[in-house]
């Protein structure tokens, strides 16, 4: 399930995207972090390493990764998009307290797409399913 940096870098090479130290740092941070960070989270974590980098730079580099099919953007109707470098089929559990997103696996629900297409006449290209709740860190059950 976990994507490795070497694989991602190899894929990036085939797309002709130039790898810069900043891009390398952003991509490895995304692959390491399991929480689906925002551009701001990434910026704050890498700020000390790249003093000239801005949130806009982070965002622009993320855009390049998205266009290369290495990263997906999870939009939530405001500016706090989150980024996921795991492009395999998986679902998300969203913490309503801290906003963290955890991955979980479940068989694809092709039925939903077929039913939606049938009832609406849409050419369905995909669906997004999320569960909401409070993560273990926020409930304090697992950490002390
Ligand atoms: Zn939480
Ligand atoms: Zn994910």
Arithmetic mean of pLDDT, 91-102: 92
**Mean pLDDT, rounded, of the chain:** 89
Q: Write down the pLDDT at residue 142.
A: 58
Whether the Cβ atoms of residue 102 and residue 134 lie closer than 8 Å to each other: no
Topology, domain 91-139: Dna Ligase; domain 1 (3.30.1490)
pLDDT surpasses 60 at 12: yes
Ligand closest to 2 (CA) is 2
pTM assigned to the model: 0.79
Residue ranges covered by each domain of the chain? 5-84, 91-139
pLDDT in tens, 109-138: 889 999 999 999 999 988 888 999 999 999
Tell me which residue has tokens 């470098």: 85
Q: Write down the pLDDT at residue 3.
A: 63
Ligand closest to 137 (CA) is 1
According to DSSP, residue 80 is labeled: -
Around ion ligand 1, which residues have CB less than 5 A away?
A: 95, 97-98, 100, 135, 138
Whether the Cβ atoms of residue 102 and residue 57 lie closer than 8 Å to each other: no
CATH of domain 5-84: 1.10.10.10
């Amino acid at each position: 399930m976990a994507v490795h940096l070497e694989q991602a870098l190899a894929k990036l090479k085939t797309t002709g995207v130039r790898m810069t130290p900043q891009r390398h740092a952003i991509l490895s941070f995304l692959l390491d972090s399991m929480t689906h960070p925002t551009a701001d989270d990434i910026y704050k974590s890498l700020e000390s390493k790249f003093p000239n980098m801005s949130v806009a730079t982070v965002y622009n580099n993320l855009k390049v990764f998205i266009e290369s099919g290495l990263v997906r953007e999870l939009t939530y109707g405001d500016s706090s998009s989150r980024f996921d470098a795991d492009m395999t089929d998986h679902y998300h559990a969203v913490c309503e307290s801290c906003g963290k997103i955890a991955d979980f696996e479940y068989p694809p629900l092709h039925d939903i797409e077929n039913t939606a297409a049938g009832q609406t006449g849409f050419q369905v290209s995909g669906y997004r399913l999320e569960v909401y709740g409070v993560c273990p860190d926020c409930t304090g059950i697992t950490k002390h």
